[in-house]
Amino acid sequence: MMTAMIERNTAAKTPMAETNQEQNLPTRAARYLLAGLRLALGWVFLWAFLDKVFGLGFATEAKNAWINGGSPTKGFLSFGAAGPFQGFYNSIAGAAWADWLFMIGLAAIGTALLLGIGVRVAAAAGGLLLVLMWTAVLPPENNPFMDDHLVYAGVLALLAVTNAGDTWGLGRTWARLPIVKRFGWLR
């Protein structure tokens, strides 16, 4: 009897029932928005990789391209690093292992995000890379602590927890692989 009264009161207070299409619209819009953010961030990472490899003239001149013997980490970590971690970043600037880790990270994170596969792993690696880049220049130039690196890291976390690779990506196919089924963190 009490349940029936609650149901009647709830029904009286709720507006006319929405159609399935109306109920799904915010969900569909959110999926598309998250997919767009995933693709955009994937391109940000992959573009940084391509520009540093080939010196396309945006952040890296051709003479400083990795394929021309330049170091992807030397210039910025030597001359751009500031703040409490400056000594650490100066000490690894131009190290072959740092160059390789940085470039592999950019390429793998960008590719995974663009394809929608391994988004959780890419988001974790990308978030770590972005936080490290944030610590290279503390405090940020235009704010006491917040900058785009932390915002991007937050967006990556959002992409990881929402299966953002499933829309406009290969996330569903990736999720059906036996190893991904066994180790859900690979999703």
Sequential DSSP letters for 21-85 = HHHHHHHHHHHHHHHHHHHHHHHHHHHHHHHHHHT-SSSS-GGG-GGGT--TTHHIIIII-BSTT
Residues of the chain with pLDDT under 50: 1-15
Give pTM, 2 decimals.
Answer: 0.86
Count up the domains in the chain and report the number.
1
Judge whether 103 lies within some domain.
Answer: yes
Judge whether 14 lies within some domain.
Answer: no
Write down the pLDDT at residue 2. Answer: 40
Write down the pLDDT at residue 18. Answer: 61
Instruction: Give dist(CA 150, CA 95) in Å, integer.
Output: 25
Write down the pLDDT at residue 16. Answer: 53
Burial 130-156, CB ≥16 within 10 A → b, else e: beebbbbbeeeeeeeeebebbebbebb
Write down the pLDDT at residue 26. Answer: 72
Domain range for residue 76?
32-186
SS3 content of the chain, % helix, strand, coil (to 5): 70, 0, 25
Judge whether 12 lies within some domain.
Answer: no
Judge whether 18 lies within some domain.
Answer: no
Instruction: Give dist(CA 34, CA 66) in Å, integer.
Output: 32
Judge whether 73 lies within some domain.
Answer: yes
Judge whether 25 lies within some domain.
Answer: no
Judge whether 7 lies within some domain.
Answer: no
Task: Quote the distance between the C-alpha of residue 87 and its chain's center.
Answer: 27
Judge whether 142 lies within some domain.
Answer: yes
Backbone angles phi, psi at 82, to 5 degrees: -150, 165
